[in-house]
Amino acid sequence: MKIAIDFDGTIAKRKGIPTIHESTQDLEPMDGARESLEALINDGHEIYILTTHEPLEEVNEWLEIHGFPHGFKVTNVKQSGTQVYIDDRAIRFTNWQDVRKYFI
């Protein structure tokens, strides 16, 4: 399965809402994130990490420093054919009446 996972607030602990993008260096990993990514990769899932951090290499370095497994791509572009998105700030779509309840 092709899975996209948000970086801020899902893999790394968020700083502020909206996220403060000073540096990835001060961020701490979310509990269980490393082990869960490793399990998903070992299970054969295709993993993409979505982020708005620039440059993307800083996110790759952060993941390496914190011992995250290899076998995924860090990107700022939604990937075609993605079947699941894991994000801490998403609203699950059921129908438009339910979505409107969040805003109206």
CATH number for position 84: 3.40.50.1000
Which structural domain, as residue segments, surrounds residue 63? 2-103
Measured CA to CA, the distance from residue 39 to residue 50 in angstroms comes to 18
pLDDT digits (tens, 9 = 90+) for 13-33: 977 665 565 677 788 999 999
Number of independent structural domains in the chain? 1
3-17, 46-60, 65-79, 80-94 — which is least confidently predicted?
Answer: 3-17
Measured CA to CA, the distance from residue 15 to residue 24 in angstroms comes to 10
Predicted TM-score (pTM) of this structure = 0.86
**Three-state DSSP string of the chain:** CEEEEECECCCECCCCCCCCCCCCCCCCECCCHHHHHHHHHHCCCEEEEECCCCCHHHHHHHHHHCCCCCCEEEECCCCCCCCEEECCCCCCCCCHHHHHHHHC
Residue 47 has pLDDT above 80, yes or no: yes
User: Mean pLDDT over all residues of the chain?
Assistant: 90
- State the pLDDT at residue 73: 95
